[in-house]
Amino acid sequence: MQPALSDEELAQRYPHLTPEQRLEMERWHRGRNQDRMFGRPIDETEQPPFPEYPPGSLVDQAFALARTDHFDPEVVKGLRRLYDLSADNLEDQFVIGHMIESQIVMASEPEDFALIDQYWHGDKEEEEDSE
């Protein structure tokens, strides 16, 4: 297992939490990772003790938007907008990109894939046309 994060790394990852809350988050994540490594059952619905992302952040908005168990083209459109807005933060883009992938996995109809393609590539074509 990787060594624990330093105070500086925790502050960078969780700027919205106090030092004590950061340590508690680190312990929570390390405990879950250890359980996974040893094959212990994990409750996937269990939430961390504190919000992992600052309230109102782009990733927080993406999590709120992506709370669905079926494909929704409007969710993909909203996630794409947040993905573009997070261009200066690769970690946020990575997380939001995974949410988009989860939506794509839930798509099943040809029309769904056409909408995904439109939302993913369509905005870029419109931007190029306007230049």
pLDDT digits (tens, 9 = 90+) for 56-81: 889 889 988 888 878 888 888 899 89
Q: Do residues 30 and 69 both lie within one domain?
A: no
Q: Do residues 37 and 93 both lie within one domain?
A: no
Which two tokens mark 117?
Answer: 């393609």
Q: Do residues 85 and 42 both lie within one domain?
A: no
Give the pLDDT band (50/70/90) at residue 107.
confident
Query: Which burial class, exposed, middle or buried, applies to 63 when counting CB atoms under 10 A from its CB (0-12, 13-18, 19+)?
Result: middle
Range(s) of the domain holding residue 124 = 58-130
Which pTM value belongs to this model?
Answer: 0.62
- Identify the pLDDT of residue 1: 66
Which residue did the predictor score with more confidence, 123 or 101?
101
Number of compact structural domains in the chain: 2
CA-based nearest residue to 29, from 7, 12, 52, 45: 52
Q: Do residues 117 and 64 both lie within one domain?
A: yes
Q: Do residues 70 and 124 both lie within one domain?
A: yes
Query: 19-28 pLDDT, tens per residue?
Result: 999 999 999 8
Q: Do residues 33 and 65 both lie within one domain?
A: no
Q: What CA–CA distance (Å, rounded) separates 79 from 22?
A: 27
